[in-house]
Amino acid sequence: MSTRTVLHEADIARALTRISHEILESNKGPDGLVLLGIPTRGVPLAQRIANLVGEFAGVQVPVGSLDVTMYRDDLHRNPTRAPHPTQIPPGGIDGKVVVLVDDVLFSGRSIRAALDALQDIGRPTAVRLATLVDRGHRELPIRPDFVGKNLPSSREERVFVRLAETDGEEAVTIEGR
């Protein structure tokens, strides 16, 4: 089994900086933005993007987390998945532009689950998707609005995002056979 690093710490920082600028540009500023990270690694990524957007725009953007565990359609295959708390910022999501943040976009099923979870929480004006890595192989018609790195990969390969907040190190690696 071979492992190669495709993003180092500086690459991740650059990608998040670019995503943050793109979010601000797309939204024409920070007004009405809410960032929701999808656990596990989407949460620290959302916090980092919120900090960068705040730095660039001079206004702190609300950030929270959205657990999608109970909305997934693959629980029968992976029943041991532990739920994480959903934390919606004060002011909610009604009438806001919600940017969902995830680490890796693969089949699109986590994002479909996130859209279902959002429906139970409120009614945003728009929902956008930011992902650090888009590896392709979509099973649903879902496309990210903001991408750190497009990483074509085979289905047999596995992509791992490691972040200082959750793993003590910064890297994106791909493992193949």
Instruction: Answer whether 0.75 is exceeded by the pTM.
Output: yes
pLDDT score for 126: 98
What Cα–Cα distance (Å) separates residue 166 from each residue in 58, 82, 87, 158? 27, 16, 18, 18
In order along the chain (177 residues), what is the average pLDDT of each group of 10 residues? 94 98 98 97 98 97 95 69 86 97 95 95 97 94 97 92 96 92
Task: Provide the pLDDT for residue 97.
Answer: 98
Predicted confidence at residue 19, as pLDDT, reads 98
What is the predicted pLDDT for the residue at 70?
87
Measured CA distances, 133 to 80, 119, 149 (Å): 25, 25, 5
Domain range holding 26? Answer: 2-176
pLDDT at residue number 55: 97
pLDDT at position 71 is 87
The pLDDT score that the predictor gives to residue 68 is 93
pLDDT of residue 102: 98
Say how far apart CA 115 and CA 129 lie, in whole Å: 10
Supply the pLDDT for residue 84. Answer: 83
The number of angstroms, rounded, from the C-alpha of 10 to the middle of its chain's C-alpha atoms is 19
Q: How many domains does the chain have?
A: 1
- The pLDDT of residue 32 is 97
CA distances from 19 to 12, 15, 131, 177 (A): 10, 6, 9, 31
CATH number at residue 56: 3.40.50.2020
